[in-house]
Amino acid sequence: MYIQRQLKEKLLYLATKYPVITLTGARQCGKSTLLKQCFPDYKYISLEDLDLRQIATTDPRGFLKNFGSKLIIDEAQYVPTLFSYIQTLVDTKNEPGMFILSGSQNFLLLESITQSLAGRTAVLRLNTFSIAELSSFNPQLLDLNRLLFTGGYPRIYDFDIHPTDFYPSYIQTYIERDIRLLRNINDLGKFIRFLKLCAARTGQLLNTASLANEAEITVPTSNAWLSILESSYIIYLLKPYYNNYNKRLIKSPKLYFHDTGLASSLLGLTSSEQLSTHYLRGELFENLVISEYIKSQYAIGIEPAIYFWRDSNQNEVDLLIESNTQLYAIEIKSSATMNPGFFKTLKTFQSLSNIKSENLRVVYGGDIDYQTETGKFVSWKNMETPPLLS
């Protein structure tokens, strides 16, 4: 099964401009597959192979000489000393597309890049399958509850794995490989409990003290673990919007997962049918919409300029997007029925910010787009930019 990735075009283009391309993203989001498809004439090696890792560590110069350029190095963060030797080769030849680096540990990978390859590499991020990618392959995959439950990890679709079989193994693999590498966590059971508590807070303001207390860990440990989850593309912290017109604002971020399938698994869901009445269905739908916009921006090599807004009176706009000097305000509702009342908070925000009516949106759980005098209803199936911002 092959699903065309939206990032492919940008990846191929930048490989003609930079000597090094760096691709990051969550474990098993499809990085290796994409790179092999985009660069079939490149040699591919993975430093998860312990023998290759040992050679690269003890003899980096000989390692690179043996494989030459036009080389894909997967999980490159395992041998950070290799980056200095890549820099030397790049500075000598200065040809585009010499090396393609990838890794699932964003923090370690980018730390090495900052030290050795700054200005020499373009950095791109790959997410799990987006709605647009799944729809282009098979529109029948776009059943809302099933998508919320299944998520977008490629292996699920490639090998027809049930989410209840995939995600527990994924979580275990993630902890054993990545968490142990980033931080020495003695009580892995406590970390899994922490993950589940994060899932239960999907779409909510992050209260680190409360989270730490319930997880029975210290606040510094909670902050450290949240940082790990961010750097490995498990969670996303949506920042509040500051350039607004109300002095009393909420300043805590909101917590989301990059993939709703993982969040659903951590919540203990075992079937998509359970989502019809689940107490967090609205939050998971909100999570889906926000993660889809993030995916659409990463696919064109852009860091998303997105926020939420909430004042002390609990008025809230779920998603604010800054694009081309304009601000868009978006309400997110899981209901399949259009309701003019969904624009209520958007109009409150409009009265404070003077945002244009044509920039007000409601993304909802129905199937059609519809323009009103107040703003536009956008189906969750059609929210990729454009038409979300059109």
Q: What average pLDDT does the segment 170-185 reach? A: 75
Mark which of 76, 105, 126 sits at the end of a domain: 126
Give the model confidence (pLDDT) of 320-359 as tens digits: 999 888 999 999 999 999 999 999 999 999 998 889 999 9
> Within a domain: residue 184?
yes
Bridge-based pairing of strands 316-323 and 254-257 is: unpaired
The mean pLDDT of 282-288, rounded to a whole number, is: 98
| Residue 361 counted as domain residue | yes
- Nearest-angstrom CA–CA distance, 261 and 267: 10
Q: Are 48 and 162 in the same domain?
A: no
Q: Are residues 99 and 176 in the same domain?
A: no
Find the mean pLDDT for residues 291-304.
94
> 189 and 286 share a domain?
yes
Rounded percentage of the chain residues whose pLDDT exceeds 70? 95
Q: Residue 182: what pLDDT?
A: 65
Residue-wise pLDDT tens digits, 96-115 = 999 999 987 666 677 777 77
Q: Which domain holds residue 86?
A: 8-126
- pTM, rounded to two decimals: 0.93
Indicate whether 153 and 262 sit together in one domain. yes
The verdict on 140 and 90 lying in the same domain is no
Q: Is residue 355 part of a domain?
A: yes
Tally of domains within the chain: 2
User: H/E/C letters for each residue in the chain?
Assistant: CCCCCCCHHHHHHHCCCCCEEEEEECCCCCHHHHHHHHCCCCEEEECCCHHHHHHHHHCHHHHHHHHCCCEEEECHHHCCCHHHHHHHHHHHHCCCCCEEEEECCHHHHHHHHHHHCCCCEEEEEECCCCHHHHHHHCHHHCCHHHHHHHCCCHHHHHCCCCHHHHHHHHHHHHHHHHHHHHCCCCCHHHHHHHHHHHHHCCCCECCHHHHHHHHCCCHHHHHHHHHHHHHCCCEEEECECCCCCCCCECCCCEEEECCHHHHHHHCCCCCHHHHHCCCCHHHHHHHHHHHHHHHHHHCCCCCCCEEEEEECCCCEEEEEEEECCEEEEEEEECCCCCCHHHHHHHHHHHHHHCCCHHHEEEEECCCCCEECCCCEEEEHHHCCCCCCCC
- Assess whether pLDDT exceeds 80 at residue 265: yes
Mean pLDDT, rounded, for 300-317: 92
Q: Are residues 96 and 234 in the same domain?
A: no
248 and 380 assigned to the same domain:
yes
Domain shared by 275 and 362, yes or no: yes
**Residue 2, in any domain of the structure:** no
pLDDT digits (tens, 9 = 90+) for 178-219: 776 666 677 788 899 999 999 999 999 999 999 999 999 999
Residue 23 included in any domain: yes
pLDDT given for residue 313 in this prediction: 85
CATH of the domain at 95: 3.40.50.300
Tell me, yes or no, whether 3 lies in a domain: no
Q: What is the DSSP string of 340-365?
A: GGGGHHHHHHHHHH---GGGEEEEES
Looking at the domain assignment, is residue 241 inside a domain?
A: yes
Among residues 78, 93, 126, the one where a domain terminates is: 126
- Do 289 and 337 lie in a common domain? yes
Q: Provide the 8-state DSSP code for 276.
A: G
The average pLDDT across 292-310 equals 94
Task: Among 95, 126, 157, identify where a domain stops.
Answer: 126
What mean pLDDT is reported for the chain? 91
Q: State the pLDDT at residue 115.
A: 78
Is the residue at 1 inside a domain? no
Same-domain check for residues 22 and 148: no
| 207 and 290, same domain (yes or no) | yes
Question: What mean pLDDT comes out for the span 155-161?
Answer: 95
Clarify whether residues 182 and 99 are in a common domain: no
